[in-house]
Every structure is written in C-alpha cells, then in structure tokens.
C-alpha cells in the first residue's frame, strides 16, 4: 500500500505545527525564518501533489493510490484516502495556489509601525500564527479532496472552518477604515455560523444515512463500498429518506459553495479578509462544496439528485444573474470580485446538475480555472489596494499611466473573469453552457446573459480604476515589484496555457465524470438532428428512431 496521499496531507499539517512552534518574537530575521519555513513546506506539498497527479492513470480504476487505516472500528470508520480525476486536479490546484498566496501575503502579518532600534516592532501581529493557519487550511482541504470515508470527509469539511475563522477575523484587511476591526469580527462570525449550520444539518444526514445502511448490513462509511451497493441495488433508500438525506448533504455544500440564497456570508468575508485569505476562501475552500456535490450528492443519492436537479438549476441561474448584477453596482473592489464569484459558482453548480458529460466536465474545469483567474484578479487588486490604502473604486483613476504592469495584469485577470476566448475560463464556461443547453435549453439561453453582465462589471472596473486622468493620490504609485511579479506570472501563464490547451485536465477528469453519470443512470441527450456518420444517425433514406 502506497503512503503517498497520507504524506501529501501530513506535510502541510506538520508544517503548520512547526511554523506555529517557531520562537516567538518580532525581529525581521525571525519573521523571515517563519515565512521561509512556511513557503518551503508549501513547495514540498506542491511537489507531492504533482507526483500524485503524475501517478494517476486516467484509464485505471475510479479510485487510485488508495490507503486505509482503521480508526474507529466499532463504527466502521477508517482514515481512507483515494483519488479520482476530479480530486486529483483540485488538490493540485490547492497546492499551486497556497505558495502563491503566501508570497502575495508576505507582509500581511507584519506590524503597521516602524521597526524600533532594537529590531522589534510595535503593535505586532503574530507572523507564526498567520502562516501556520494557511498551512492548516491547505492540509484540511487536501484531505477533503482525497478522503474516501464519509466520516473523515465530514470531520475535515468542518475543521477547516476554524483556521479560516481566525484568518478572517484576526488577520483582516487593513484598508477597511476605522471600523475595520468590528467589520472583520462580524464577517468572521457570519462565515462561521453559516457554515456551522450547514455542517450540523449534514451531520444529521450522515448519521441518518449510517443508521439506514447499517440496518441493511452496510455498517461502514467507506464511499466506494456504499456507492457500489447503491448502484447494485443491495443498499436501498426509500424515496422519502433519499430526498431528505440528499437535502441534508446538499444544504451544507450549497452554503460552502456558496449558492444563492445561502451566499450572503461571502461578500463580507472576502471584503474584510486580506487579498490572500480572500483567494483561499473562494478559490480553495469553496471548491470543497462543489466537489462534494459531485462526489457525494450524485454518488449516494442518484434518484434524488435527478429529482431536485431542475430546482437547483433555477437557483444556479438566479445566482448567475444576481451575482453579476450586484457586481456591476459595487463601489468596493473586493466585494465586486466576491459577487462575481457568486455568479461563477452558479455556472459551476449548473454544470454539475445539468447531468451531461459536457456540463460536468465544464464544471470541473471551471473549478480549476475560476481558482486561477480569480486568484490573479484578487491578488493584483490586493497589491493595488495596499498601495492606495483604499478599497473604494472611486479613489482610483489613471493607474495604467503610472503602473502599467500592474494595470496590464489586472486587465488580464478581468478578461479571464469575463471568459474571453483564449483564456482558461472560456473553455469551461462554454462546456457548461453547451452541456446545459442540450438538456435544459431555456436555462442555457438565460444563463448566457451572465456573460454579458460579466463583461460589464469587469470592464467598468478597469475603466474606472486604470484609465482616465491620473488622480493625485495615485500619481506616485509604484509598479509591481519582483515578488509581486513572481506571484502574478504563474497565474497569467496558467490562464493562457489552459485557455489554448486544456487537454491535460480534460483527460484526467473525463473518466471520473463518466463514472459519476453512470452512477446517476444518465447519458447525454441524443442530437435532435443527427449528423450523417454520427453513431446515432439514422441510416440513409430511413427514419432515426
């Protein structure tokens, strides 16, 4: 049995403990040591996640590199790990983004005051705690993507809320004005309460599912065993029970995602967090919710998933349009990006519940591409805000004339967000829309309106901040520095590369998508007008049946 997955999860966890245990103090040298240890840990984790992706065989079994360690034997709970194509790429995305977030957040835990003669700082913020929390989030998210035991997944699904709470409330954005401390506290508590409520509902559903399965001889939380038993008809859920359990799981995942109308915590959390923490929220942690919809909702409750799919598609459609409309009217840069993300999550969830191969492949790619493009947009926005000390759009103007590289990378992030052809999000959004249209044409047509709104909010933001006369407050604004270029360059490169050549990702995720569709007994709709030579085409001169 390979231990690669366990090691990949354990390295950031151990790094978090080591970073937190480093000698306390505020000298610049000690801060550099703390940051170097944390960054090195994230680099090792990236190498391990890349190794997992390299060893994954798309033509092999559904779950690979499996490991299992008995935990609570009496309840059939094991620390079981295994990867499919979807979990592989999302864990790799997490491992790519964390070191980038660390570099972008290099000074976010530094004290606001000047260094005193003895090398210490006044009003210091604990650097060890900040970087340890980031590593803790990384470890818990990767376990969630690798876990094949339902109970293990639930534990880490909930546990990741704790470090995120402290990152939002304890290390928030300093550009929020005199009320920032109170607003950070409010945002952190709201984030925690919403997600805890979702987790408690899920816990009740997990317990209920276990009781039903145990009564039928399946006293285990092992996901492959349970999904196989359901597919073979050996584990049977009544219609009412399946619907109730599905709603319990889906509610928790919809809060985490977030899906309208359970989204209201996200703009507060992203607005009050640092730019790096905001990226962790929307590009990493929230992806656990959409990933879990694919793995658990569709795998464990196939009939209920089909029953509720139309209603979920309507909620997704509302989220797409609602999020985009509110983004257009925002005055705060970070809240604009947050509402844009709500719109994008609507596309992801729509692709999942369209129940087509194009839709679900597009949704999985969207998770990856949204993570990359939003990280680029938000982190450059963070660099902009840190220079001016304000999140308000109206406080900027003419930045492209004094900081052209910053403005250029900000434009690329915005163009990726509106899914410009040639950039990564276009491929995924196109697949989602095509996959939805083939089964739900009316919803697919209305959803395209979200693309128009995306162009509106992204281009308006660029116009108002980067073009026009140079405002006096930004006239001396410096351009991106070497560290900041090191943050942005890989994100821009990935955005372009995956925009013109997404095949490496599609090759990995498509077998997992096909397996998921098989679990819910769905196939792609046949073409309404078959093409000659297509496997479903009618014979020449005959009628297609």
**Is 447 a member of any domain?**
yes
Number of domains, the chain: 1
177 pLDDT higher than 80: no
Q: Which residues contact 119 (CB under 8 A, 6 or more apart)?
A: 27, 28, 29
User: pTM for the whole thing?
Assistant: 0.89
- Residue 305 in any domain: the answer is yes
Tell me the residue range of the domain where 344 lies.
301-525
Question: For every residue of 466-495, which 3-state class applies, written as one string?
Answer: HCCCCCHHHCCCCCCCHHHHHHHHHHHHHH
The predicted-structure confidence for 397-412, as pLDDT tens digits, reads as follows 899 999 999 999 999 9
Distance CA 452, CA 35 (A): 42
Using alpha carbons only, how large is the chain's radius of gyration in Å? Answer: 23
- pLDDT for residue 135 is more than 60: yes
Residues 301-324: what's their mean pLDDT? 93
Of 25-29, 58-62, 91-95, minimum mean pLDDT range: 25-29
Whole-number pLDDT of residue 429: 92
162 exposure class (CB count in 10 Å sphere: 0-12, 13-18, 19+): middle
Whether the pLDDT of residue 465 is over 50: the answer is yes
Does residue 1 lie in a domain region?
A: no
Position 418 in a domain: yes
User: 250-266, pLDDT tens digit by residue?
Assistant: 999 999 988 999 889 99
Helices (H), ranges, 56-125: 85-104
Domain annotation covers residue 397: yes
Q: Is residue 394 part of a domain?
A: yes
């Amino acid at each position: 049995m390979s231990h690669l997955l366990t090691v990949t999860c354990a390295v950031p966890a151990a790094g978090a403990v080591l970073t937190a245990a480093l000698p306390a103090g505020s000298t610049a040298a000690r801060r550099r040591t703390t940051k170097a240890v944390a960054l090195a840990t994230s680099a090792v984790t990236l190498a391990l996640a890349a190794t997992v992706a390299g060893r994954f065989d798309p033509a092999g079994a559904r779950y690979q590199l499996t490991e299992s360690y008995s935990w609570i034997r009496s309840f059939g709970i094991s620390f079981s790990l295994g990867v499919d194509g979807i979990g592989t790429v999302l864990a790799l995305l997490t491992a790519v983004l964390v070191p980038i977030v660390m570099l972008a957040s290099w000074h976010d835990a530094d004290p606001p005051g000047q260094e005193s003669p003895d090398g210490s700082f006044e009003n210091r913020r604990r650097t060890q705690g900040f970087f340890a929390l980031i590593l803790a989030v990384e470890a818990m998210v990767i376990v969630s993507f690798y876990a094949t035991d339902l109970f293990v997944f639930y534990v880490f699904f909930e546990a990741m809320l704790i470090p995120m709470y402290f990152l939002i409330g304890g290390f928030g954005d300093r550009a929020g004005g005199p009320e920032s401390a109170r607003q950070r506290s409010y945002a952190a508590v709201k984030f925690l309460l919403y997600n805890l409520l979702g987790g408690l509902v899920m816990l009740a559903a997990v317990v209920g599912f276990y009781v039903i399965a145990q009564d039928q001889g399946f006293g285990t939380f092992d996901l492959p065993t349970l999904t196989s038993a359901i597919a073979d008809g050996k584990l049977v859920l009544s219609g009412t029970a399946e619907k109730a359990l599905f709603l319990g799981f889906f509610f928790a995942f919809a809060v985490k995602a977030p899906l309208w109308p359970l989204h209201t915590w996200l703009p507060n959390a992203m607005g009050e967090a640092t730019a790096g923490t905001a990226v962790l929220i929307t590009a990493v942690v929230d992806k656990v919710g959409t990933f879990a919809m694919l793995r658990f909702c569709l795998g464990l409750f196939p009939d209920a998933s089909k029953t509720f799919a139309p209603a979920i598609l309507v909620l997704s459609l509302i989220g797409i349009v609602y999020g985009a409309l509110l983004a257009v009217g925002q005055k705060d840069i970070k809240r604009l990006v947050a509402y844009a993300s709500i719109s994008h999550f609507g596309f992801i969830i729509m692709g999942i519940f369209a129940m087509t191969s194009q839709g679900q492949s597009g949704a999985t790619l969207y998770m990856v591409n949204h993570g990359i493009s939003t990280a680029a947009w938000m982190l450059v926005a963070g660099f902009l805000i840190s220079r001016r000390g304000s999140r308000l759009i109206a406080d900027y103007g003419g930045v492209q004339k004094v900081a052209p590289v910053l403005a250029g990378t900000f434009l690329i992030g915005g163009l990726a967000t509106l899914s410009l052809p040639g950039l990564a999000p276009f491929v995924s959004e196109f697949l989602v829309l095509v996959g939805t249209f083939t089964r739900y044409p009316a919803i697919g047509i209305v959803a395209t309106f979200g693309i128009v709104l995306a162009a509106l909010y992204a281009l308006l933001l660029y116009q108002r901040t980067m073009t026009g006369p140079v405002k006096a407050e930004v006239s001396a604004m410096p351009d991106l520095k070497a560290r900041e270029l090191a943050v942005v360059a890989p994100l821009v490169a990935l955005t372009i590369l995956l925009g013109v050549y997404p095949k490496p990702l599609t090759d990995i995720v498509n077998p997992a998508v096909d397996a998921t569709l098989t679990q819910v007994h769905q196939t792609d709709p046949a073409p309404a007008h078959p093409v000659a030579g297509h496997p479903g085409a009618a014979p020449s001169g005959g009628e297609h049946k």
